[in-house]
Amino acid sequence: MTSKKPLAGRKIAALAVDGFEYSELTEPKRILEEAGATVEVIAPGSASQIKGWKGGDWADAVKVDCALEKAHASDYEALLLPGGVMNPDQLRTKPAAVALVRAFGEAGKPIAAICHGPWTLIDAEQVKGRTVTSWPSIRKDLENAGAHWEDYEVVRDGNLITSRKPDDIPAFSRALIALLAA
């Protein structure tokens, strides 16, 4: 007897570039896929893969499923924004990335951002008046953008889920699964 997977048939976008924190993309992706979701990695340009960052050095590459320029929020039910310092710092300078994040927010679709991932939320104007968490070094950036920052492993404010670091990945992933399964 098989049990129904709570996210069967759900499609989730994961937006990243070279330098994403390896575990913050690969672990939530694995957990979401085990729950039945399809997770598509979206990256700018024509790269067929992007390289992660782990422990101060380059990690393995992850396959890119869709070019950012062809991605539409309407094709997905949720957005995953992994951290790493390099990844969101690059994404927030790309108008197409900021526009995609904003489109998810404006559509009221779930957005889950971990570690430095909320940096991109600032540029997409999705944190003002919201309660969030993040890696501590971007706390002031979030507060200056109008967010209320808290130090918890997971903070959920409506359809926005944020977490602080790789140790929070299990709780972060459970929160997104619960939101999508509700």
72 catalytic? Reply is no
Task: Indicate which residue of 66, 72, 115, 148 is catalytic.
Answer: 115
**Measured distance CA(146)–CA(52) in Å, rounded:** 30
Q: How many CA atoms within 13 Å lie on the side-chain side of 30?
A: 9
**Measured distance CA(174)–CA(34) in Å, rounded:** 12
Beta-carbon contacts of 29 under 8 Å, excluding residues fewer than 6 positions away, are: 14, 39, 41, 80
Neighbours of 123 (CB within 10 A): 19
Task: Indicate which residue of 66, 72, 116, 148 is catalytic.
Answer: 116
Contact 14, 80 (CB under 8 A): yes
What is the residue type of 28? P
**Measured distance CA(147)–CA(61) in Å, rounded:** 33
Helices (H) and strands (E) in the chain, counts: 6, 12
Query: What are the φ and ψ backbone dihedral angles of 151, each rounded to 5 degrees?
Result: -100, 80
Q: Please calculate the CA angle 62-158-96 and round it to the nearest 5 degrees.
A: 45
Residues classed as catalytic: 115-116
